[in-house]
Each structure stands twice: as C-alpha cells, then as structure tokens.
Structure 1
Amino acid sequence: MTPSPNPASGPSAGLLPGDLGWNLGMVLRGYQTRLEEAVDGMPGGVRGYQVLSTVGHRDPANQQALAAHLVIDRTVLTYLLDTLAEAEVVERIPDPADRRSRKIVATAHGRNLLERYESRVAAAEAELLEGLDAHDAATLSRLLSGLAMSVHRAQPNSSPCEAMDYLP
C-alpha cells in the first residue's frame, strides 16, 4: 500500500488534497465576476472581448485558426462574429492565402473598443490581485502562466471558457 502524501512537504505544502481545486475555483470565480463587469457593454460579452483581443494581438490567419486558438466551436464562433460584425467591431475579409476562407480583422471602432476594454480588464485584474504585494502578484502571474501552458500542451483542446461554465 502506498502511503498518503505528506501535506507538509512537496509543492502543495500546507494544502490538503482538494484545496488546490477550491483555491483555483475561488480565484477563477472572483476573476469571472470582475471580468464580466469590466466588459459590460462589449458586444458578445466576455467571449466577444476574447475574440477582439485575439484578433487585435495575435492576428490569427483565418476564422478556423481563431476558433482553434480560442477553443470555440466553429458554429458558436460564427454567431459571435455575426454579433461583432453587426456592431462594426470586426470584419471578415478574404484570407490572402486561401480565398475560400475568411480572415477576421478589427475595425477602427474595434481597435478603439479594445483599447478601452483592455484598460477596464487591467483594472479588474489589479483589483483581484490587490491582496498581494507587487512581487507576489508578479510571481503568481508568472507561475500561473507556466502551469497554464503545461496544461494546454497536455490537453490542447481544453476550453478555459468551459471550465468557467462548470464552476459550482
């Protein structure tokens, strides 16, 4: 019989099995609440913001690459893009590499919205982290980024949006 791990040693020192999940869930819930408030009024809400941010900063090659990056079902993405295009936030243009597919680009209005909403999201993130000193907040952000990339490499089709949808 394998002995139980000692909670006083290892990477989760002081945590009981399951505490990590509770802690991550609480932080995610706090983030979700603040993010929803920060993007209030954004066409498409949180997902609309994610699409606009991805288009504005990562320049995906086409609509399919955008769906893959965000791990959003193509049908759902189509409706979301319709909403964003109707609000003149993004536009679909022929993909220069493949005229049969569409590239999604931010309009001038969309770039202005992105700048405004990024300021609001940054403020929401700062509010969430205000219980930590600057060094600890930077360390947490760096560690979470590394852990997230590790999980993404192991489970490339996992959707962070779905994880938020299933929080208790």
Structure 2
Amino acid sequence: MPQRREGLRRPVRAGRALLVIPIAWIVAVSVVDLVAPPDIHLGPLLVAAPAITPLFGGPWSVGLVSALAVIAQTIIGLVRDPGEMLSSNHQAQIIALVLVGASLVIFCVFRERRAKELAQVRYVRDSTGTFYPLTERITGWTENDPDAFLVRFRRDLLHHVGGHLNDDAAMIAIAGTSTPRA
C-alpha cells in the first residue's frame, strides 16, 4: 500500500497562481516609484514581495520573487539616477533585498526539510498498519527540556511500533521561549 504524504507539499497550481500577488506588487511599486516625485522613494516596499512569498511558495518561488525584486530595484535606481550608475541609497536597498531574499530562501529550505522529516514520523506504522498519530500524541506534552522530550517521544514511538523500528530514525528537538521580546 503506497504511503500518501498529504500536507507535505502545497498544491502546485495554487502556489503558482498565488505568485501573481508578489509579482504584481513588484510591478506596481516599481511603476509608482518611477512616476512619483524624486523625493518620494517607494523602492523599500519591494521587500514585501519576497516576505509574503513563503506563505504559499517554496525556496524556488522565494528565490524567483527575490531576484525580481532586486532587478526591479536596480531598474528603479538606474532610471532615477541616470547621471550615476547607482546611488549609495539604491545600493543599500539592493543589498538589503539580496540579504532578505537569501535569508527567506534558507528558511524555506529548512522548513521543507522539517516537513519531510515530520511526514516520515507521521507514517511510522505499527504491526496492524495503524499510523503513529504524531499530533494527537504530543499535543499535551509539557516537557521544557529537549532531551526529556526526545526520551519520551522515542519511548512513545517504540511503544507504538511494538519495540523495534524497522528503519533509521533521527530526532531533533529545539527549545524555544514563549516570552515576548521587548
């Protein structure tokens, strides 16, 4: 019986269709910035396009939108400052877009890797073919220490499969804080 990994990947069509939103934002900001008076700079608003793309896209989509935002900012800089190659202001904005875009691509890569790992845990079956109910089992756990969580999780997983995993397993738990930052 083939394993289905629902929820691991978003529907491709929906994600691609939603790419219209950040691309339209880039076009709109660029056009308005180019026709706006010289003392009004809207280029920094381009960062919103790559910032919203991880909501519905993966690393490739985020990379594409980030590259388009960088290209748009470069065009804005070249058109706005025809006398010089790029002003230091536009250079700083381009560098910021590159850094934000690269950070978001890295975030998406780790997010997808994590989703794949969780999908593999979700599909651990016991001898009757019942899948391990990951969400239901760990929802009420209150371990604050990652090591204690992993010990309990491993024990629970082994109990579910009858004491022996038929494949390799790697587990990582990271402690977070719930204290809001000032």
User: Do the two structures share a fold, i.e. TM-score over 0.5?
Assistant: no
**Greater share of residues in strand:** 1
Structure with max Cα Rg: 2
TM-score, normalised by the number of residues in structure 2: 0.26
